[in-house]
Amino acid sequence: MSDRLLKALLVMLLIAAPSLAQTAAELRQKYGEPEILSRKSSQILIERYMVRGSITMTVKFGGRSGRACELRIEPRRTRIQNSKRVDVMSEFEAEQVIKELAPMEERGRLIKSSNAEFGCSTVDFGDYERVMIAVTRRCAAQGGGTYSVKIRWKDTVCEQIDRQASVAEVAGNALN
C-alpha cells in the first residue's frame, strides 16, 4: 500500500472513531449515584451528579452506546460564602473539571475558538474535531469566576434529536 493510502485510511478511522465521552456506569463509579431527571419515555437519559462539593454536572446520555453526549457543569445553587450567595465556580475548579471530563487528547484538533461579551459576562467557545466547549464567565470587576461550562460531543444522538426537533419546529411554524 502506498503511504498516501495508509494516511487516508488512518484519517478515516480517526474521523469515524466513536465518542470518547464517559458512560453512565463510568460516571457513577467516579461521582456516585446521580439524581435522575428524565422520564422513562424520553429518548435521552438525563442525570445530575455532584462532581465536587460545590459543583454539579447535568449529563445527557443518548443512543445505544450509553455514552454522555452533553454535560452542563455549574456551581451548586445553595452555596453561601461570607454571607453572600455564590453563583460561580472558581476558574481553576472549572478548568480542572473540563480537563477531567474532556481531556485535551480526546478533543481532537482545535478547529476554531471565539468569544462573545455581554456586559460583565463572557462566553468562550472552543470548537474541536470531536467536542464543543462553551465556558460562561463573570468579569473580574464583579469578582470573576465561571457561571457554567457546556461540553457537547459531536455526531451523537443528542445532536440528531436536536436537529429533528428543529426541523419539526420550523415545519410547524411554516404551517401556522
**Which tens digits make up the pLDDT trace of 143-158?**
899 999 999 998 766 6
Contact, 110 vs 93, CB < 8 A? no
Residue that wins the pLDDT comparison between 130 and 14: 130
Q: Tell me, what's the pLDDT at 169?
A: 52
Domain ranges of the chain: 21-175
Q: What is the pLDDT of residues 50-104, one digit of tens each?
A: 998 889 999 998 766 678 889 999 998 755 566 555 589 999 999 999 999 999 9
For the four alpha carbons of 6, 7, 12 and 17, in that order, the dihedral sign comes to positive
Residue that wins the pLDDT comparison between 54 and 125: 125
Q: Tell me, what's the pLDDT at 43?
A: 72
Q: Is 70 helix (H, G, I), strand (E, B) or coil?
A: strand
Residue 149: beta bridge partners?
A: 73, 135
Q: Is 42 helix (H, G, I), strand (E, B) or coil?
A: coil
